[in-house]
Amino acid sequence: MRILSGFQPSGTLHLGNYFGAMLPNLEFQKLGESYLFIADYHALTTSPDPEALRQRVFDVALDFLACGLDVNHTVFFRQSDVPEVTELMWILNTITTVGFLERAHSYKDKIAKGFMPNAGLFTYPVLMAADILLYQSDLVPVGKDQKQHLEITRDLAIRFNERYGEVFTVPDGHIAENVAVIPGLDGQKMSKSYNNTIPLFGAPKAIRKLVMSIVTDSKGLEDVKEPETCNVAKLYKLIASGEQYNELCRNYRAGNYGYGHAKQALFEAIQAYFGPMQAKRDEFAKDPGEVWNILNKGAERARNTAAATMEKVRRAVGLR
Ligand code: TYM
């Protein structure tokens, strides 16, 4: 079974990335042949500064290595090191209707938030489909926000196979059960483009400041509070143990427990969880050459798989 997923280098990774997709992917890497890549072509849709983009690719690589990516089990690479994916995207574009892409939620959300859409943002789901189909992936663990993109991918794979013969594996998505879309500081989906993230790594003071800025309702210290609808409690549930979370719920329901207390508990849980990984990250950061080496080796393996698929695709559509 081949398991694949991608992460945009929009900055250092955050709690939404980690609990929505990184952790499930790292768990899956033991069960099959795992492919993980850093989606730098996708990141270009937001026009980052070139030097910042290079740095962010490196940062995401460090984040993954710190969080337990095992290069013996996972083909870890940079998306743009396998440019065949853009060729496949072009071919998939020719079987994709414009109306189909106009219905994509993430595109509509960005427009609604006032982003100036470029054509890359519009065809973003087709590049994502190309990522998945190029490597003949069976299973794609992603966060809930990517569900529709996976449906588009399945649809394109089926459409292509019906028109040109069985070339692609039709992938299944895997969305971590009981992990919803993880809220950011303001309660919307945690996302770098909404500037509401809590990064996995960083100076404790800066992380604490972010945690203290999480939006809550205006209940006072003595009021009874609802864990189910509170952003602080939702994040705490992901990161703390079951017993710690139950204690927070009891405190919320008893009153005389303020949001400041809950935020401090959340901050401490984040430190306890990611502290040991930060030390590992610092170790990898001392040897950038080795990090690039890991990505280059991964790219070599990914290119072999990509070449085999593209040969089939070109023949199927009449380009050979
Ligand atoms: P990206 O870079 O936005 O996020 C990477 C992964 O993290 C998950 N995630 C979340 N899950 C729950 N709550 C959140 N607030 C949250 N924020 C991020 C995402 O669901 C994702 O799994 N288009 C993809 C990258 C991509 C890809 C692919 C993924 C490109 N090609 C092929 C899988 C397969 C994206 O922008 O994810």
Residue nearest to atom 22 of ligand 1 (CA): 142
What rounded mean pLDDT belongs to the chain? 95
pLDDT over threshold 90, residue 266 = yes
Q: Which of 63-67, 83-87, 192-196, 306-310 has the lowest mean pLDDT?
A: 192-196
Render pLDDT for 33-67 as a digit per residue (tens, 0 to 9). Answer: 999 999 999 999 988 899 999 999 999 999 999 99
Residue-level pLDDT at 180:
79
> What is the percent of the chain with per-residue pLDDT over 70, rounded to a whole number?
100
Say yes or no: CB of residue 79 within 6 Å of ligand 1: no
Residue nearest to atom 27 of ligand 1 (CA): 6
Number of other residues whose CB lies within 10 A of the CB of residue 283: 12
Q: d(Cα 100, Cα 20) in Å, to the nearest integer?
A: 26
pLDDT over threshold 90, residue 241 = yes
Residue-level pLDDT at 310:
98
Say yes or no: CB of residue 125 within 6 Å of ligand 1: no
Residue-level pLDDT at 178:
67
Whether residue 123 contacts residue 101, with contact meaning beta carbons closer than 8 Å, is answered with: yes
Residue-level pLDDT at 109:
85
The more confident residue out of 108 and 307 is: 307
What atom in ligand 1 is closest to the CA of residue 141? 22
> What is the percent of the chain with per-residue pLDDT over 90, rounded to a whole number?
88
Residue-level pLDDT at 10:
85
Say yes or no: CB of residue 17 within 6 Å of ligand 1: yes
In the sheet that 33-38 helps form, which strands lie side by side, from edge to edge?
A: 74-78, 33-38, 2-7, 139-142, 172-175
Give me the active site residues, please: 110, 189, 192
Residue-level pLDDT at 3:
97
Say yes or no: CB of residue 20 within 6 Å of ligand 1: yes
Residue-level pLDDT at 11:
82
Average confidence (pLDDT) over 261-276: 96
- CA 146 to ligand 1 centroid distance, Å: 6
Render pLDDT for 292-304 as a digit per residue (tens, 0 to 9). Answer: 999 999 999 999 9
Which of 10, 38, 40, 159 has its CA nearest to residue 95?
A: 159
Average confidence (pLDDT) over 121-142: 97
Average confidence (pLDDT) over 243-251: 97
Residue-level pLDDT at 114:
84
- CA 150 to ligand 1 centroid distance, Å: 11
DSSP letters for 14-40: BHHHIIIIIHHHHHHTTTSEEEEEE-H
pLDDT over threshold 70, residue 75 = yes
- CA 164 to ligand 1 centroid distance, Å: 30
The more confident residue out of 115 and 275 is: 275
Say yes or no: CB of residue 142 within 6 Å of ligand 1: yes
- CA 160 to ligand 1 centroid distance, Å: 24
Say yes or no: CB of residue 131 within 6 Å of ligand 1: yes
Render pLDDT for 174-194 as a digit per residue (tens, 0 to 9). Answer: 998 767 789 999 999 999 888
Residue-level pLDDT at 174:
93
Residue 10: CA count within 13 A, CB half-sphere: 20
